[in-house]
Structure 1
Amino acid sequence: MILTYQEICTRCVARYEGYVARFFGDGMLAYFGYPRAHEDETQRAIHAGLEILDGLASLNSDEGKEGENLAARIGIATGPVVVGDIIGDGASQESAVIGETPNIAARLQACAEPNQVIVSAATKNLAAGEFDYRDMGEQSLKGVDRPVTAWLVVGELDHGSRFDAARGQQIAPLVGRDEEQDMLVRRWQRALSGSGQVVMVSGEAGIGKSRLTHGLRDQIRDQRHIELNYQCSPFHVSSALYPVINQLERAAGHAPDDAPETKLDKLEQLLGQSTDEIEFPSRLLAELLSLPGKRRYGEVDVSPIQQKDQTLQVLVRQLEGLGESQPVLVVFEDLHWADPTTLELLDLIVEQIPRIPVMLLATHRPDFRPAWTGEAQVSSISLSKLDPGNCSALVEGVAGGLSLPPEVLDEIISPRRDLLRKPSCTGTGLQGLPVRARRPKRLTTIWGLPWMDSNSYLRPTRIDICGSIFWVKESRRLLPLAVTPARK
């Protein structure tokens, strides 16, 4: 039983590229962000925790399982820690982690009920838009000299876009991108005339690709059109057509408690907006969405390769059918994380786009090289860093009218400290403008700038680890879990 539990925990942590520091008895400690750092460590930690609970639930539901059911308690905390030298021998070797963050995670785990994920306020703030939470109030934790607000993770939210999830209602002003914005509008006008367009927007993480896309959506909001939003995910690069499946479920209005037959009815209603032929595409898309459609539509009696090809053709025809009724804006976010089958679908769409009133707008990072670059209907925009003047305007806009002294503004945007590059930490400062400085405590205390609370605070010149902690324990009936994501 213990080995099975450890295998589930290890697999889920590894899936989100966390690091299992150690197992001790019926507990587990893991880091996210050390020794490998990502921009979304907190989200990865919470996803891993929820997936561990799902894994244990699946194990408990196995008909051949013997013994009592397993459960888990999970605690996650985020904060600065220091990673020291390797201690221990053999299998017990681990890096020494110093700081209160591991202790907070362990204590939060003790506050959790079976099959709950409890996170600290810092963790919740960093992933506020991606998950649903319930306030558990202030907790007095042993070894912590202040009350800690605990939050229960109820489940994942689906915003359709990482940008919308991270920003919520707070959108940074769009500055310094007038030429790029004008180009998008011109390409949209061409699409309206029936000559479909593809625009690829590339740039480093956090430089403003999604904000530019949001700006176009704002400009055409009052125009008659259909908008399709697809979000690629770093956690599903091997899941065929993941962004398409996600979009279809949102467009059809599938709810978690819908019966399978209800979901099939909603799928047919969705397809009815683009075609008069319902049965054949419904049969294929029901298979794609893992819905039991055999009783209603019959078997899909073709080879897997033929089924894939037919499904891609159905998706292309659905887009063409929508375009016959009104113009369509198709937005693909973070194409560098797209799975191979999604890219194959995009190959077909780009080939057909010149003949339909559709604009495909895709964002990606510089290391992604789309196969269709150079086609007549394809344009590219490469976003560069903002100049100091535009950076000042952006900072003042995000500060919400707060007047910043020149020395504080200089600490944020000074090119001498390479402030326009993304720091290797969880989250992005200034809602799209990653920032650094040498005196974060002074700035936080005196000015209380709004982005300081996001834990993507301005970095000192030397900082060790900022992270979260993830804990797990196990008994015959209970597996308390505490896990620690950290970042270098």
Structure 2
Amino acid sequence: MNHQASTSDTKVQCTSDGTASAANESDARNELTAAQDAVHRLRRYVPAAVAEAVLHDQEKLRGERRKVAVLFADAVGFTHLSASLDAESVFDLINDLLSRLVECVHRYGGMVDKFTGDGLMAVFGAPVAHENDSEMAVRAALDMQKAAAEFEPIARAQLGAPLQIRIGIHTGLAIAGILGTQEQAAYTVIGDTVNMAARLEALAQTGHILVSSRVYHQTRALFNFQSLGTTPVKGIDQPVPIYEPIGDRSEPLPTRGLEGITGVFVGRDAELEQLRALLAAFLNDQRGRLIVLQGEAGMGKSRLVTETLSTITSDQVSIWKGRGLPYAQGVGYGIFRSLLQGVARSRSFGAAWDSQVSPPLRLFLWQMLGRLSPEEQVRLRHLGPERAKQLTTLALREWVLGEARQQPVALILDDFHWADDLSRDALRTLVNLIHKAPVLLCVMTRPQPESPLELAVPPAEEPLVTPLHLELELKPLSPEHSRALLAHLVDLSSMPETLVNTILSRAEGNPFYIEEFVRMLIEKEMLTLGDHQWQVTSAVELQTLEIPTTLRGLMMARVDRLPQDLQDVLRNAAVIGLQFSARLLEEVESRLHGPASVLPPLERLAGLGLLEERSRAGEQVYAFRHIVTQETVYRSLLRSQRPALHRTVAECIESVYAADLVNQAEVLALHYDRARERG
């Protein structure tokens, strides 16, 4: 992704009264046109996120630590097979194949880092993170296999032999940023993670995909894998386990829990009792119900629903599940497409709809599943967007009512915070069915302060013992329940109490965080599995207890979705520390970016749940809501970048608190000490 576009020289010179001469206006127009052309060229050759960063946040592109998934793909034997073709034919043929592979990368939010002659290197997680980058990479790889299979007849016609690809994927930390000179530079990622992915690709058999154990563990709930044992890898002392993804699981497994340990459900007794009471009422009076479960990632929403439904059978209720996907946000009805795909997998295609949906409306369900014939596609093209939306929603409504006529039906909609607008509108329509049929709607979502999910449930005509609508917000586990969960996973008698307290304080009552800290210790071979628990087998240095890469990805995905000005404020706040005064941060921002009030961005970050305001006599103080967020944002900075930022903070402390430096001595010493650290 080389780029030579620059917009830094684009300036408009104005006279003191704010007007410009005709000559200056002409120059300004020419410079603006040139800048727009440069921006257009830049966006053709690099991903949109990189282009925006180059234009608005060049400091960020100097480098940052990121959790990424790296994919290498290569057309096996292409050079040998194409020896008999002229150079232009070779170029056209490989370009056709690579174009198909690039489309697969972009479909899942990836970035093509570079082309490698007969293949490519793709990155998921830089410059923009997704909390499930390993999943994105595996999905892209599986789609690449399909794309290569479709390309095979074209290659065979020109080469006289099949052309296949092989793929390797690994995930971990890497350095991401711009490498090169002012004249020519490229945004790329480097590090051991990249090297490992390249070696896995070289080990893969033609037509196959190899992934590391880390990718496998992060995605095994979603895909079927074949274990291929262990194999020596250059640069690694011990043979490494490798796996091949075969395809999607028909029914995803629970994504929480550790291998070898039976799951335990703690701290949710009150919520479970409420949900089971509502479920019992739903089965008893055959009246529809709406459940909305809200909670931050990892709080156990999906597990709570699984526990609630564990007491019923498929003979009592038809249960269909849909999942919101970040890469499907631009696709209409994404969460309902996911649900209907599950229906189509479990029944023959015709039987899934024929008895419930009238023939004219069936086409709209088939369209959601990509099953329309060319003739049927032509029939629907003349419809305007609004009419198509009405008929699609009507088809969904008719299908749900048809299902409910046979027996009660439960629609479980997970990760609804990823839902597109059409899915939200469809849900609002389906909510009205709870008065007409035994339909249980269960919606799981994260808090969305800027676009809250608002569902109006019409009141029942007669009093009900159990309400039609239940909203629950899952809070962090209590310290006692957090410790109980950790004790179920690890033999605490073998773990230093200081380490126990460190894990619990950083996890802050989040069950997923607790599990991920334990998983990280397992990966570092500090724990081994006993009869029923993991046990500490080697000393753990507390100062090296880092944030697990899975949590880094989760946090950075949220940070990357923020506007650039909020990202800048959050990054500088993280350098100051877990808690900071608005006055000090404003001085830091002023020195780094010029004078501006930090209160509006701080208030917005607090509204988004990333920060919280705390009272302190005489000044406004803010704190990161979660320790993990502050540590993740801080550790995304390169070590070489940190000293200068700490020096700026120290100098700002001396300026802001000049009259009270005695009380700032400890924190001032900390920042000056870190300012002297080598990168």
TM band (smaller chain): 0.7 to 0.9
Deviations 1:214-238 (A, max 9, x none): 1111133487222121122122112
> Which residue of structure 2 lines up, in the alignment, with residue 327 of structure 1?
408
In the alignment, residue 309 of structure 1 is paired with which amino acid? Q
- Contact 1:240–1:339 (CA under 8 A) maintained in structure 2: yes
Distance 1:162 1:289 in 2: 23
In the alignment, residue 204 of structure 1 is paired with which amino acid? E
TM-score (norm 2): 0.56
Distance 1:50 1:350 in 2: 36
2:390 aligned with 1:309, yes or no? yes
- Contact 1:232–1:332 (CA under 8 A) maintained in structure 2: yes
In the alignment, residue 195 of structure 1 is paired with which amino acid? R
Shift of 1:42: 1.5
> Which residue of structure 2 lines up, in the alignment, with residue 291 of structure 1?
371
Partner SS for 1:371: coil
TM-aligned CA distance change 1:237 to 1:169, over 3 Å: farther
TM-aligned CA distance change 1:217 to 1:236, over 3 Å: same
Equivalent residue runs for 1:9-408 within 5 Å: 9-60=101-152, 71-79=164-172, 81-83=173-175, 86-89=178-181, 90-94=183-187, 97-99=190-192, 101-159=193-251, 161=252, 163=254, 172-192=263-283, 193-221=285-313, 224-253=316-345, 266-271=348-353, 275=356, 279-292=359-372, 303-305=383-385, 306-367=387-448, 369-372=452-455, 376=459, 377-397=468-488, 399=489, 403-405=491-493, 407-408=495-496
Partner SS for 1:199: strand
Partner SS for 2:507: coil
Distance 2:364 2:126 in 1: 42
The counterpart of 1:419, out of the listed 494, 498, 507, is 507
Q: How many residues align?
A: 441
> CA RMSD of the aligned region, Å?
4.2
- Contact 1:287–1:293 (CA under 8 A) maintained in structure 2: no
- Give the percent of matched residue pairs that are identical in Structure 1 and Structure 2: 23
Distance 1:14 1:301 in 2: 26
- Contact 2:528–2:535 (CA under 8 A) maintained in structure 1: no
Shift of 1:4: 4.3
Distance 1:314 1:322 in 2: 12
Partner SS for 1:114: coil
TM-aligned CA distance change 1:409 to 1:157, over 3 Å: farther
Unmatched segments (≥5 aa) in structure 1? 255-262, 453-457, 469-486
TM-aligned CA distance change 1:149 to 1:312, over 3 Å: same
Deviations 1:116-167 (A, max 9, x none): 21112222122112222223333223333222222222222232x5746988
Distance 2:95 2:256 in 1: 36
Higher helix share: 2
Deviations 1:173-226 (A, max 9, x none): 221112211221232244331432211101111111101111111133487222
Deviations 1:21-78 (A, max 9, x none): 3334445333333443333221122112222333344445579x96676532211123
Shift of 1:106: 1.5
- Contact 2:126–2:176 (CA under 8 A) maintained in structure 1: no
- Contact 1:129–1:166 (CA under 8 A) maintained in structure 2: no
Partner SS for 1:76: strand
Distance 1:35 1:421 in 2: 30
Distance 1:375 1:435 in 2: 44
- Contact 1:412–1:436 (CA under 8 A) maintained in structure 2: no
Distance 1:83 1:463 in 2: 16
- Contact 1:283–1:293 (CA under 8 A) maintained in structure 2: no
Deviations 1:462-486 (A, max 9, x none): 5697899xxxxxxxxxxxxxxxxxx
Partner SS for 2:350: helix
TM-aligned CA distance change 1:268 to 1:409, over 3 Å: farther
> Which residue of structure 2 lines up, in the alignment, with residue 444 of structure 1?
526
Shift of 1:409: 6.3
TM-aligned CA distance change 1:347 to 1:389, over 3 Å: same
Partner SS for 2:129: coil
Distance 1:437 1:327 in 2: 40
Deviations 1:433-461 (A, max 9, x none): 55479977887246776599xxxxx9945
Partner SS for 2:328: coil
TM-score (norm 1): 0.75
Distance 2:226 2:529 in 1: 30
Distance 1:230 1:332 in 2: 5
Unmatched segments (≥5 aa) in structure 2? 1-91, 460-467, 537-541, 554-634, 637-679
Partner SS for 1:182: helix
TM-aligned CA distance change 1:442 to 1:315, over 3 Å: closer
Distance 2:425 2:177 in 1: 47
Deviations 1:379-430 (A, max 9, x none): 3111110011111222233x2xx5322854663465874323779xxxx555
Partner SS for 1:311: helix
TM-aligned CA distance change 1:253 to 1:438, over 3 Å: closer
> Which residue of structure 2 lines up, in the alignment, with residue 483 of structure 1?
none
Partner SS for 2:398: helix
Partner SS for 1:176: coil
